[in-house]
């Protein structure tokens, strides 16, 4: 199936994280040009490796860095992507900053930082790319929420609340931007099993225990979620907007 992504320009925030490189490769495989955003120095190498791999395969990819707490920095990043690749037509908000902290451990600064990293960043980048999408009368925004936003999670209420805010933002932007041909959705995955330098993100014993509660009897992989995100962001999706899609392998919230 032709997903209509050839020559589209995709911006992925947090692209050096566990899912980001796979997402970038999946979009590039459909002929899209990809801008991988990553500011965290510890993850920057993975973003560059993914971009190098895309370019070695004949695709177009760049790595960009911006402080997503700063509107000016975001605008400069979007302008650079426009200059080097073209106007952004697909945005994937994939930043992640999970921290395990109980209610009584969370200070005001920690709460504010989580909201900034998860919710405010999603808002600011979406706001920055919307004008070009409106001019083109076509655009797709896909944001990562979390199963935690739907079901709650002990010892990370700030994370769950910020991700719930992403769901509300998604619904609101879909209503506002829909008349301009822009579709806005979110995915709400449970934990995704990633591998870095041969080391799984979840130890085998714990992963096996978690899988027993999932009807598919396995954890999701970056390839699994990338397939859904790419479809939501593609021209093949003509009518799905304003939705938050649970991505749990059949496990109920």
By annotation, the residues acting in catalysis are 159
Record the tokens describing residue 160, joined without a space.
Answer: 């769950």
Can you tell me the distance from the alpha carbon of 160 to that of 151, in angstroms, rounded to the nearest whole number? 8
H helix and E strand count, the chain: 9, 9
- Residue 187 phi, psi (nearest 5): -115, 145
Closest CA to 20 of 226, 230, 246: 226
Can you tell me the distance from the alpha carbon of 104 to that of 21, in angstroms, rounded to the nearest whole number? 35
Can you tell me the distance from the alpha carbon of 116 to that of 176, in angstroms, rounded to the nearest whole number? 22
Closest CA to 119 of 57, 166, 184, 172: 166
Closest CA to 39 of 90, 97, 88: 97
Does an H or E element contain 204, and which? Answer: helix 204-211
* Cβ proximity of 92 and 166 under 8 Å: no
Spatial neighbors of 29 by CB under 8 A, at least 6 apart, are none
Closest CA to 22 of 155, 160, 195: 195
């Amino acid at each position: 199936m032709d997903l209509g992504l050839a020559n589209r320009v995709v911006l992925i925030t947090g692209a050096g994280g566990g899912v980001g490189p796979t997402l970038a490769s999946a979009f590039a495989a459909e002929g899209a040009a990809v801008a991988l955003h990553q500011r965290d120095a510890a993850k920057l190498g993975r973003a560059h490796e993914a971009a190098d791999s895309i370019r070695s395969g004949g695709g177009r990819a760049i790595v960009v860095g911006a402080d997503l707490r700063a509107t000016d920095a975001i605008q400069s990043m979007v302008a650079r992507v426009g200059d080097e690749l073209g106007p952004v037509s697909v945005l994937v908000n994939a930043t992640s900053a999970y921290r395990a902290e109980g209610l009584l451990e969370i200070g005001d600064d920690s709460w504010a930082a989580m909201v900034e990293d998860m919710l405010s960043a999603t808002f600011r980048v979406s706001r920055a790319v919307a004008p070009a999408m409106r001019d083109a009368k076509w655009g797709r925004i896909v944001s990562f929420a979390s199963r935690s936003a739907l079901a709650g999670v002990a010892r990370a209420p700030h994370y769950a609340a910020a991700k719930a805010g992403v769901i509300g933002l998604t619904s609101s932007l879909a209503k506002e931007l829909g008349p301009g041909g822009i579709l806005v959705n979110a995915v709400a995955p449970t934990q995704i099993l990633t591998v870095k330098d041969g080391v799984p993100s979840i130890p085998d014993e714990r992963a096996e225990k978690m899988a027993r509660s999932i009807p598919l009897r396995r954890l999701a992989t970056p390839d699994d979620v990338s397939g859904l995100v790419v479809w939501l962001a593609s021209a093949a999706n003509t009518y799905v907007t304003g939705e938050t899609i649970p991505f749990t392998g059949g496990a109920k919230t």
